[in-house]
Structures are given as structure tokens and as C-alpha cells.
Structure 1
């Protein structure tokens, strides 16, 4: 680490932030972060027990902080930091949420496809399970 590099401690994440970080990187994987995608992310997170005690203001502040980290670090570094603190039982959930967000607009770019391929390996989701999640989310987002 150089003298002017950000401190590794500034990338420390809670499990909730880790899950949100993976979602944020998923919606930014195509190089564009739309308001609609951000609202869809908010809706998905609000349905989770992990975020039941979070007000919308708290979620917005968390997303703002994660956006700053995304700008400061690479998307892959943010995903690695998230993976390091994400509980094992939430890794398939994180992959499912990311897949849902990528597929929500009905168009999967090569960058988004590469992101999901990398994410399933980073999170150590078995290929068969990852394929099942992609198939189910594809069906969910058809309509």
C-alpha cells in the first residue's frame, strides 16, 4: 500500500452493507446506474429480514457510502470485501438478488453476464445452483 492509497479499513463492511454492495455492483455492471434500478434494489432489500430495522433514510445513506466506495475502489475489490464478511448462508441470496437486478430490465449485456459469472465463482456458489438461480430469475423477469 502506498502512502496515498486509501486505508484498507475504509473498505470494512457489515453483512448488510456487503449484501447491498453486491446489489449495487450488479446494477452498475453495465456501466450505467439508473434511478429505476436503484428503486428496484431498495425494494428487494426492504423485503429482507436483514434490512427490517433500516429506515429508507438509513438505506439511502448506506447506498451513498457504498457508491463512494465503488468510485474509490474497483467493483471487483468491493465485491471481494463484501464476500469476506458475507455469512455463508447469505451468499446464494446475494447471487439471487444480483441476478434478479441484472435481469430486471430484460437485457443482459456482456458486462453483466461476465459479472454474474465472476460473482458465482467469488461467492463459491456451485455451478448447478447458480444455473438454477439464473433460470428461476429469468422466468420471474419474463413478464
Structure 2
């Protein structure tokens, strides 16, 4: 490593997340699990975020900063790492909502990829959601997203 390599290295990505980043992080992770975010998935993320009180005081600049951070983590560390970091910081009261949101977003494009199934399973475990509760949420979201 040369002298200038140390100076110009990228700083390691900070994965400690706020509540707002954690909730949005779960949504971004599920949407990006298959390698791309469909417009229907992005619309789902925006729809959920607009309805939650935890984002009431967020400006456009704050949202841009939040999503920039989440997309950097997704790109550099992957969806699994983003789920893990998000689940660690998400409050108990938002866990079921975040899980339902994630399943809804995964189903929004009409196709549930294996990578999305894997992230949903990982998410249920990371959020400590009982299996019967997770299955019930998935069943409701399947009904909701039927065409």
C-alpha cells in the first residue's frame, strides 16, 4: 500500500442505523434482493414511508441522504447485511409493520424470486417473528397482491 492509498481509501460504511433508516432499510433490502428494484417495488417503498409518522419531519434532503446511505450499504454489503443492520436497530413496535411492508413490496412486481424468499425468511428470523405470525402476514399479502 502506497502512502497516498491510506489517504484516499474510502471510509468503511457506517451500518449503525436510525429507526427511520432501519425501517426503510428493510424495504430497500427486500426490493433489491433480486439485483434490481422494479418501479412497482419503489412505489411500494414510497407509499409505506409516506404513511408512517416516524418520517413526518423528514425533508427531501433528509430522504435523499437516507436512501443514499441505504443504497451504498445494499451495493457494497448486500441485501442480507442491510437486513441484519436494519433488524438490529428496529424497535419492537415497528417489527411486524416492517415485515408486512417487506412482503408486500416483494410481491408488488408479481414475481417472488428465490432471493426475495431467502430475504423474507432471514428477515422473519432477524426480527424474531413467530413462524405462524409470519405465515399469516404472508397469506394476507398474497391475497392483497392477487391480480
What TM bracket, shorter-length normalisation?
A: 0.7 to 0.9
Deviation at 1:44, TM superposition (A): 1.3
Residue of structure 1 equivalent to 2:17:
13
Distance 1:110 1:12 in 2: 28
* TM-score, scaled relative to structure 2: 0.85
For structure 2, which runs of at least 5 residues remain unmatched after alignment?
Answer: 1-5
Residue of structure 1 equivalent to 2:52:
48
Distance 1:5 1:79 in 2: 23
Distance 1:75 1:98 in 2: 12
The 1:74–1:5 alpha-carbon spacing in structure 2 relative to 1, beyond 3 Å, is farther
Residue of structure 2 equivalent to 1:111:
115
Residue-pair matches, total: 140
Deviation at 1:48, TM superposition (A): 1.0
For structure 1, which runs of at least 5 residues remain unmatched after alignment?
Answer: none
**Backbone CA RMSD of aligned residues:** 1.9
* TM-score, scaled relative to structure 1: 0.88
